[in-house]
Amino acid sequence: MPHSWDPQRYLTYADERGRPFVDLLARVGASAPTTVIDLGCGPGNLTQLLAERWPDARVSGLDSSTEMITAARASGGADIEWAVADLRDWTAPEPVDVLVSNATLQWVPDHLSLLPRLVDQVAPGGWFAFQVPGNFDEPSHTIRTEIAGRAPYDELTRDVAVPSSHDLRDYFEALASLGMRVDAWETTYLHVLTGEDPVFTWVSGTGARPTLQALPPDLRADFEAEFKQRLADAYPVRDGRVLLPFRRIFVVASKP
């Protein structure tokens, strides 16, 4: 079921969402790449970091969302090439020195089977780095799943996009079997959130957005009311703040 993205909603927690990208990038050892691709660049704010690190490289930001690419073009980065592209069938016009995909692969079902083709896009001596959430057993996701599975929502949400990821070892073994040198790790961030319904604000911009968009306004209001209440119970406010644990999985692989 198709859905669209809201760049401004997504950027509500830009600092928190950006920190894993910085941590991922720190482990990429490319010194003077010619071509750098951000596959699933979103609103482009993090792609700017690639251009700053490698100012002599040709940097491109690709995303399947026209809304995200429009926002990226409007945000600046005149030296960055922006384009709408779907990573499921994207092919680089020439081998890439650095291929980065941040918080994108989780939206592609069976993305392990996509890794060999993505590795093929990387030049010898190049780097492939990605990060995906690994928190899908947390209340921020399980509550959405439980509510969406009940009537009257289930008929409308059955085919919506739902993110998922694999175990760290699965990614390691998949890439190592392709001859890549693999550095893989995971980190659990503890995000400190404030404001009204902060966890709902977070998930409604990402993982829960397709579900919410699938509902008509009247049902969406009822769904959101229950979702907000249950999230507030799962992530209570203490001293004016909410703590959101968020596990992320990182993989950096280099091609000999």
- Domain contains 89: yes
pLDDT over 90, % of the chain: 85
Whether the predicted pLDDT of 117 surpasses 80: yes
- Domain contains 110: yes
- Domain contains 104: yes
Range(s) of the domain holding residue 113: 7-254
**CATH number reported for the structural domain that contains residue 208 in this entry:** 3.40.50.150
Whether the predicted pLDDT of 241 surpasses 60: yes
- Domain contains 101: yes
**Cis before 93 (ω within 30):** no
Whether the predicted pLDDT of 155 surpasses 60: yes
- Count up the domains in the chain and report the number: 1
Whether the predicted pLDDT of 176 surpasses 80: yes
- Domain contains 221: yes
Compute the mean pLDDT over every residue in the chain, rounded to the nearest whole number: 92
Answer yes or no: are the C-beta atoms of 24 and 129 closer than 8 Å.
Answer: yes
- Domain contains 2: no
- Domain contains 23: yes
How confident is the model at residue 16, as a pLDDT?
80
Place of tokens 């991922």: 24
> How far is it, in rounded angstroms, from Cα 234 to Cα 5?
26
Overall average pLDDT of the 233-256 stretch = 97
Q: What is the pTM of this model?
A: 0.92
The tens digit of pLDDT for each residue in 178-225 reads: 999 999 999 999 999 999 999 999 999 888 999 999 999 999 999 999
The tens digit of pLDDT for each residue in 118-154 reads: 999 999 999 999 999 999 999 999 999 999 999 999 9
How confident is the model at residue 78, as a pLDDT?
66
The span from the first CA to the last CA of the chain, in angstroms, equals 40
**What is the greatest pairwise CA distance in the chain?**
55
How confident is the model at residue 7, as a pLDDT?
47
Whether the predicted pLDDT of 2 surpasses 60: no
- Domain contains 205: yes
SS3 (DSSP) at 182:
strand
Q: Hey, what are 145's tokens?
A: 């799943």
